[in-house]
Amino acid sequence: GNSVTQMQGQVTLSEEEFLFINCTYSTTGYPTLFWYVQYPGEGPQLLLKVTTANNKGSSRGFEATYDKGTTSFHLQKASVQESDSAVYYCVLGRNNYAQGLTFGLGTRVSVFP
Amino acid sequence: GGIITQTPKFLIGQEGQKLTLKCQQNFNHDTMYWYRQDSGKGLRLIYYSITENDLQKGDLSEGYDASREKKSSFSLTVTSAQKNEMAVFLCASRQGASAETLYFGSGTRLTVL
């Protein structure tokens, strides 16, 4: 079956520090990979997605590279702000799979000024 | 743009009670989903529907019923609420069955006394 692993349950940083969230996945074929972000009191929203293996996606200063060789999709940001505090989900999607997406457990990022 | 509206935002019930959560979307999306979010467990799929009057069980469907009488609405019923149950239920929608962006509501927080 499909699975997504996020090993870090929580990350705590100061503003302007570098953020790295580890994500690996397991599936067959070529999935679409996403990062969703959830702010307090809201539902998750799309941060970025990559549909093609070995491509990079970026949004709002965040980047992630779809690495088919290592089955990874790590998220990084060079310099975080307090407003980046949220839960980040690595997510796997399969074309023509109506049952939706496979979510990782999420990583809670807390950024302090 | 569009929006997904979930009602109520907070739901408090008694053990054994039947409780209904409602979701409306104005994206005109075909596919709708109900996820359960528990702390530390990520998002787990309860039910989904690929069109009006269609219902498909997810991984966590036991103890729940769903209804999709109109394209724009998708309701979830907890058939017998369990004491000490606390979770956030998230409704989502997307167009079609491919791995496109999923749009979420802000959730209903359930507490069972």
Rounded Cα distance between A99 and B60, Å, is 12
Is it the case that residue A105 has pLDDT exceeding 90?
Answer: yes
pLDDT tens-digit map of A66-78: 999 999 999 999 9
> Under a CB-based contact definition with an 8 Å cutoff, are residues A78 and A61 in contact?
yes
Contact (Cβ atoms closer than 8 angstroms) between residue A89 and residue A106: yes
Going B24 to B26 to B30 to B33, the CA torsion angle's sign is: negative
The whole-angstrom distance between A14's CA and the closest CA on chain B is: 23
What proportion of chain B, given as a percentage, has pLDDT over 90?
Answer: 80
Q: Which residues of B42-65 are buried (b: 16+ CB within 10 A; e: fewer)?
A: bbebbbbbeeeeeebebeebeebe
The values of phi and psi at residue A86, to 5°, are: -175, 180
pLDDT (tens digit per residue) in B46-90: 999 999 999 999 989 999 999 999 999 999 999 999 987 789 999
State whether A100 and B106 contact (CB < 8 Å). no
State whether A97 and B105 contact (CB < 8 Å).
Answer: no
Q: What pLDDT is attached to residue A88? A: 97
The answer to whether residue A52 neighbours chain B at the CB level (below 8 Å) is no
Contacts of A89 in chain B (CB under 8 A): 42-43
Bond into B8 cis (ω within 30): yes
* Closest-CA residue of chain A to B91: A43
Give A27-36 pLDDT, tens digit per residue: 888 888 999 9
Confidence band (pLDDT; 50, 70, 90) for B19?
A: very high
